[in-house]
Amino acid sequence: MKVDVAVIGSGPAGLTASIELARAGLSVAVVDEYYRPGGRLLGQLYDDPKAPVNERRWDGKKLTQELLGQAEKAGVRLFCGVTAWSVSGCWQIELSGAEVKTLQARALLLATGAAEKALPMPGWTLPGVVSVGAAQTFTNVHQVAIGQRVMVVGVDPLAISVAMEMKHAGIEVVGIALPQASAWSKEEASPIQALKRLADVADLAPNPFLRQMGRMMGTRFSRLAAHILRFPFVQVDGVPLYLRKAVTAIEGKTGVEAVTLQSVSVHGLPIGRAERIEVDAVCLSAGLYPLSELAQVAGCMLVDIPELGGLVPLHSQDLRTNVEGLFVAGNITGIEGAKVAMAQGRLAAVSIAGSLGRKASLSLQEAHAGVKLARAESPLRFLPNIAEGRVKMEQLWQQFHEQKEGAI
């Protein structure tokens, strides 16, 4: 099957880009291995305090349906439950799970998104232990409770928002606690680092005290705040937030029965006696990392920028890569929210349309402004130093071009 543009990934970036590309008069095919489009949008359900009063409810499932309707109306071909297992040339994409076995495209957009990091600990393979993304999908997409009494392990923006979503769905969330210090948890096990992360969700926190604690982070009072929060009176929408306690083990014979909760020092080291809390499910959150494997298969240079989440494709501000005709958008470029991913999808579409001699509905300057605005208005920051990561990417892209021109 021949198209002008192939898009891999039907999340917020991929769907938004496909709509803009189709409206520019280009034939577009979108491929996604999940059985339905939407990506991480499907599980998102929260109130955005930064949005206008009549637009504060962010319903990812509803937004997905709106985008899907626009894509179908624009003539986008959508292949769900289909795996793109090989990418070569300019461009040939091999598929499995569809009647169409090969896509040939003039340009390729990778919007593959992100995956969750593992958080190994004693008992983490027991039935009843799920990742935070799975908990969000079960709760908001399928309306299935992962348990009756749930402990959330990991203090980060995604964990806090999912804990609130589970509580609103009628699940008893017994607490949000730190993971134990290990080679896997790294800074995630530090109370001080966890407090700094609260600044990234301070505007979403319904607790005024928690908002103030979050805003104190990064100041000379951060250590004082960590000492204050050894007292268990801080809650997020009624859910206890244990910033000086860590889950060190998950107990059970054939499934989750309890967790071991250990008090820790300001530096995350165990102190005092441990306690046992009965639960029937545990939700683990260790952050996200960009899914960049297909970019590497396509010949794209990858660079390791921790501030963006790890290995990401080298790309320009216009979302071009070092490979001609290959573009990226969304969390593959660095972990950010859905609003940013959608804005990046529009920007990538403008870049692709221009490279194929077509004019998009907005200019490159307008698309860049849209990304900047989305970042300013995003209610969640998944990585605290994302701006620094973007600067590093710009510098690496500039170095790449200088070396390329020097070689020529």
Instruction: Select, from the ranges 42-46, 262-266, 364-368, 377-381, the one with the highest average predicted confidence (pLDDT).
Output: 364-368
**All residues at 6 or more sequence positions from 344 whose CB lies less than 8 Å from its CB, including other chains:** 13, 319, 329, 330, 333, 371
Q: 79-128, pLDDT tens digit by residue? A: 999 999 999 988 999 999 989 999 999 999 999 999 999 899 999 999 99
Two structure tokens written together for 227: 């000492």
**All residues at 6 or more sequence positions from 401 whose CB lies less than 8 Å from its CB, including other chains:** none
Q: 262-293, pLDDT tens digit by residue? A: 999 888 888 888 999 999 999 999 989 999 99
- pLDDT in the model for residue 275: 94
Is residue 30 within 8 Å of 15, Cβ to Cβ? Answer: yes
Going by pLDDT thresholds of 50, 70 and 90, the confidence category of residue 75 is very high
Looking from the CA of 122 toward its CB, the CA atoms found within 13 Å total 14
Average pLDDT over residues 27-46: 89
**What is the percentage of the chain residues whose pLDDT exceeds 70?**
90
Residue 53 reports pLDDT greater than 80:
no
Residue 76 reports pLDDT greater than 60:
yes
Residue 190 reports pLDDT greater than 90:
no
Q: Could you tell me the CA-to-CA distances from 347 to 284, 327, 383, 393, 396 in Å, in that order?
A: 34, 10, 22, 17, 20
User: Distance between CA 178 and CA 183 in Å, rounded?
Assistant: 14
Average pLDDT over residues 176-182: 91
User: Distance between CA 140 and CA 58 in Å, rounded?
Assistant: 12
Domains of the chain: 2-115+288-407 (3.50.50.60), 118-284 (3.50.50.60)
Going by pLDDT thresholds of 50, 70 and 90, the confidence category of residue 161 is confident
DSSP 355-379: HTT---SS-HHHHHHHHHHHHHH-S
Going by pLDDT thresholds of 50, 70 and 90, the confidence category of residue 401 is confident
Going by pLDDT thresholds of 50, 70 and 90, the confidence category of residue 379 is confident
Q: 204-258, pLDDT tens digit by residue? A: 554 555 555 555 554 555 555 555 555 555 777 788 989 889 999 999 999 999 9
Residue 158 reports pLDDT greater than 70:
yes
More confident residue, 183 or 309: 309
Is residue 34 within 8 Å of 136, Cβ to Cβ? Answer: no
Distance of CA 394 to the CA centre of its chain: 21
Residue 332 reports pLDDT greater than 60:
yes
- pLDDT in the model for residue 233: 57
Residue 395 reports pLDDT greater than 80:
yes
**What is the percentage of the chain residues whose pLDDT exceeds 90?**
67
Mean pLDDT of the chain: 89
User: Distance between CA 1 and CA 191 in Å, rounded?
Assistant: 53
DSSP 147-209: -SEEEEE--SHHHHHHHHHHHHTT-EEEEEEEEPPSTTTGGGG-HHHHHHHHTTSTTT-S-HH
Residue 23 reports pLDDT greater than 90:
yes
- pLDDT in the model for residue 214: 54
User: Distance between CA 138 and CA 136 in Å, rounded?
Assistant: 6
**All residues at 6 or more sequence positions from 231 whose CB lies less than 8 Å from its CB, including other chains:** none
